[in-house]
Amino acid sequence: MLLFAIGVGLCLLSALVTLCFVSRNNPQVRKAALWLTIAAGLIFIFQSVRIALTDQSLNYTFTQIAPQLQFTFLIDRLAAFFILIVSIVTVTVAIYSLRYVEVSTSGTRRNLFIPLMNIFILSMLFFVASANSFAQLLCWELMSLSSFILVMYHYEKEETRKTGIFYFIMTQMSTIFLMLGFILMYNATGSFAIAASPFLTAGTNTLIFIFLFCGFGIKAGIIPFHKWLPYAHSSSPSNISALMSGVMIKVAIYGMVRYVIFVLDPQLWWGILILIAGTISALLGVIYALKEHDIKRLLAYHSIENIGIILIGLGLYIIFDSYGLSDLAFLSLAASLFHTLNHAIFKSLLFLTAGSVVEETGTRDIEKMGGLVKTMPFTAALFLIGALSISALPPFNGFVSELMIFQAFFSAFSIPNPYVVILLIICLSLFALTSALAAACFVKAFGIIFLAMPRSEKAQHAHEVPRAMLIGPGILAFLCIGLGVFSFQIFGWLGFKPPMPNLLWVFLTLIIFLIPTLIVMRKTTGGKIRRSGTWSCGLPAPDSQTEYTASGFSEPILTFFKPIYKTDKILIRNFWDKYDSTFKNGQAEIKVMKIFEERIYMPIANCVRYLSQKVSGAQNVDLDTFILYSFITVIILVLAVGWIL
């Protein structure tokens, strides 16, 4: 406990230090503060690993702030696991920020960045560690608040303004759902404690589940609540995107896991609901990602996809559990949690490296990048590792968790209900599609960003980023490989034996095969390579104009999924004469519709806007009308009281 307290203290100190010098532009202070954060993160890693390995939970009551409420903390294995996720990403992001903060913007605004980041991290930590829902709600709000301000970091950009309002409303919506769930729970059990209670009936449980699912779902970015995610991730600074995508949405997953498993009594249909939501999120997430050419939005859509995968694991857990298949249930849950960790790692890695790229090229449009592998080789290699992990390729970590989910799916036949099995098979095929599309998408992303020739002036003159911005992601890349290769052993240390291949052997085998191949190749070529122009059918030397573009790359897949991308045709024609015979000018445009935005979000927003205009119009009148309002109310009151009594 003491160590945790020290860690928290270090974070707070880091925040305070920068706040004290908030009006001075002193890089040394910022650096010192970030080092404090890194130290705190290391402490958290140490402690949470210890708890995860020894399975001794920590329990602590902090303070009683008012009659019914207090802060109590309980760090059990699950919490420790999520704390580990938070702190790993924290450490690497903080290392990355050592330089990124100095590079990305100027002015004293940077000073606010560090305290806010610390608060953001601490609120996530405390959310995970809280043993009562009141404290959780508080941390949840703090998390929303600090992340909102961080998203508004580049506040003068038009894009950020839009994002800000959108993000804020969505976070508030999620808070409201959580509040509903927590209030229901409090009123049913009489306490905020996060624990199963005999007072919770099946009906209440279901209501609470629905509220919490929506609340956490919004934060996690489940489709159809996902729309804030691409916006918020793309307009915030890259290290914050990494934190948000790597950790914040995981915190929502933690909430879901915690409540569904430990507090509420799950029913089969919850599992099915979660499974379907997960599958849809995964599939649509990746399909939208394919279409996206903004690197950070692309990554954000992949976050939606991966959240979907995590939810698939969770859904499978509930389904298997409700049939009493505890081994399979455990496998699914382990897969889901492991994927949570993996996604945190490789997604942070991708966001950080993408941030470096964006910083260097000054654009987020991948069509304007290209050829960066030559100017930024290390960043490219790191991004490649992230891309391979997220594409679930062996022996990287992403593969392990997806493998476990596949195995859980393959065991669906143990379920006695054939309808559920059919559902699982359908979800399985969609899941397979998802994972293959993700691979395609990352071939596109890596290929277009880093390979071939630069597509713009700025991409041509990019430089490798400073060392700190490589070390941070470097650690993550190392973890990507380590967690994949040693996955079998890691599960062993934790005391689990999931049925899965030992990737260490696979890895060793690969190396064994590599050695003779290398020898053969050395013998034959002597290591000499001749460089020559690319073959171009005899045409003049190809330039960046003739390269395959990102849109070209994803075009065939988009054609296959045409029904999902609804298009809008805009046709405007003007004529010189009134008989429409002499064409003057015109405009034709086909654009991809943002279905969720245009069919769900905007109608609701417009409805609210319309109502509010009516309401406020009724208040923009003169005194007579105001008195009339009072008059009518008085009459109604008099009548109501007279007649009701």
Partner 1 sequence: MMNPTSILLIKVLFVFILGTAALIIMQKSLASLFSLYSVQSLLMAVVSLVLFKETGSYVLLSLAILTVITKVVIIPYMLNKVRKDSGIHRDSEFRYLTPVSAILVGIALIFVSYSSFYRVFQLSQDNLFFLGAVIGVSLALLGMLVIISRKKIVTKAVGYLMMENGVLLFGLFIAELPFIIELFIIVDLVIFILLAAVLSMGIDSTEEDLTRKLNNLTKWFKQ
Partner 2 sequence: MTTSLLEYFFINTFFVLLVSPLFMGLIKKVKAHMQGRRGPPLLQMYYQLLKLFKKETVVSLNSSFVTLIAPYINIIFMLAASLCVPLVFIPTANFGFGNVILFLYLMVMAKIFMAFGGLDAGSSFGGMGSSREMTISAIFEPVVIIVVSALAFVLKTFNIHEMFAATLVGPSLTNAALVLTGVALFIILITETSRVPVDNPETHLELTMVHEAMILESSGPNLALMELSHAIKNTLLMAMLINILIPWGLAVTLTPISWLIGMLAFLFKGIVLAVIMGVFESVTAKSRLFGLRTFFILAFSLAFVTIMFELLV
Partner 3 sequence: MIFLAYIISGLLLLGIVAAIMKWRFKGEQTAVSRSNLLNFFTLGHAGIYLILTLLALIRLPLPVLAFNNYLFMDPLAIYEVLIAETIFLLAAVYGHGYIKNLLDRRVIKVESLELFYGSFNLLMVMVVFSFFSNNLALFWILLELTTILSAVLIVTLSARENVIAALKYVFIASTAMLFSVIGLIILFATTKQTSGSGTLNWTELMVMANSLPPSLFIFAFVFCFIGFASKSGIVPFHTWLPQAYAKAPSMVTAVFSAVLINSGIYGIIRLYAVAHHNGAWHTVSIILIVFGVLSIAIAAFSMLPRTNLKKLIGFSSIEHMGLILIGTGLGAPVALFWTLYHILSHSLIKALLFLSAGILKNQFESNYLQDMPAALKLQPLATWGVILGTLAVVGMPPFPMFFSKLFILVQLGAFSLPLLIIVLIFLLIVAGALAYLLIRAFTQPPADIVKPYRADWSMKLPIIVLFVGIIGIVVYLSTGLSGILNTITASLGF
Residues that bind partner 1 (CB under 8 A): 623-624, 627-628, 630-631, 634-635, 638-639, 641-643, 645
Nearer residue to partner 1 within complex by CB, 158 or 624: 624
Contacts of 409 (CB under 8 A, 6+ apart): 316, 424, 425, 427, 428, 431
Q: How far is CA 539 from the centre of its chain?
A: 45
Q: Which 8-state DSSP code applies to residue 132?
A: B
CA 118/CA 128 separation, integer angstroms: 15
Q: Which does 643 bind (CB under 5 to 8 A by kind): partner 3, partner 1, partner 2, none?
A: partner 1
| Binding to partner 3, residues 157-196 (CB under 8 A) | 160-161, 164-165, 168-169, 172-173, 176, 179-180, 183-184, 186-187
| Binding to partner 3, residues 619-638 (CB under 8 A) | 619, 623, 626-627, 629-630, 632-634, 637-638
Tokens of 289: 């990602």
The reply on whether position 234 binds partner 2 by CB under 8 A is no
| Binding to partner 3, residues 562-621 (CB under 8 A) | 608-609, 611-616, 619
101: region left, alpha or beta (phi > 0 left; psi from -120 to 50 alpha): alpha
Strands 583-592 and 567-575: antiparallel
Stretch that binds partner 2, among 200-208, 218-226, 474-482, 519-527 (CB under 8 A): 519-527
407: region left, alpha or beta (phi > 0 left; psi from -120 to 50 alpha): alpha
**CB 67 → partner 1: shortest distance, Å?**
40
Q: Which does 155 bind (CB under 5 to 8 A by kind): partner 2, partner 1, partner 3, none?
A: partner 3
Nearer residue to partner 3 within complex by CB, 184 or 384: 184
CA 447/CA 384 separation, integer angstroms: 10
CA angle 295, 299, 301 (to 5 degrees): 115
Write down the residue that tokens 């559920």 correspond to.
Answer: 420
Task: Tell me the three state secondary structure of residue 125.
Answer: helix
Give 181's strand partners: none
Residues 42-71, one symbol each (x = binds partner 3 by CB under 8 A, - = not), give ---------------------xxxxxxx--
Nearer residue to partner 3 within complex by CB, 577 or 622: 622
Residues 283-302, one symbol each (x = binds partner 3 by CB under 8 A, - = not), give --------------------
Burial class (CB in 10 A: 0-12, 13-18, 19+), 339: buried
Give 570's strand partners: 589
Q: Which does 429 bind (CB under 5 to 8 A by kind): partner 2, partner 1, partner 3, none?
A: partner 2
**CB 620 → partner 1: shortest distance, Å?**
16
Burial class (CB in 10 A: 0-12, 13-18, 19+), 421: middle
Nearer residue to partner 1 within complex by CB, 508 or 634: 634
Residues 447-466, one symbol each (x = binds partner 2 by CB under 8 A, - = not), give xx-xxxx-------------
List residues binding partner 3 (CB under 8 A).
63-69, 134, 137-138, 141-142, 144-145, 148, 152, 155-156, 160-161, 164-165, 168-169, 172-173, 176, 179-180, 183-184, 186-187, 608-609, 611-616, 619, 623, 626-627, 629-630, 632-634, 637-638, 641, 644-645
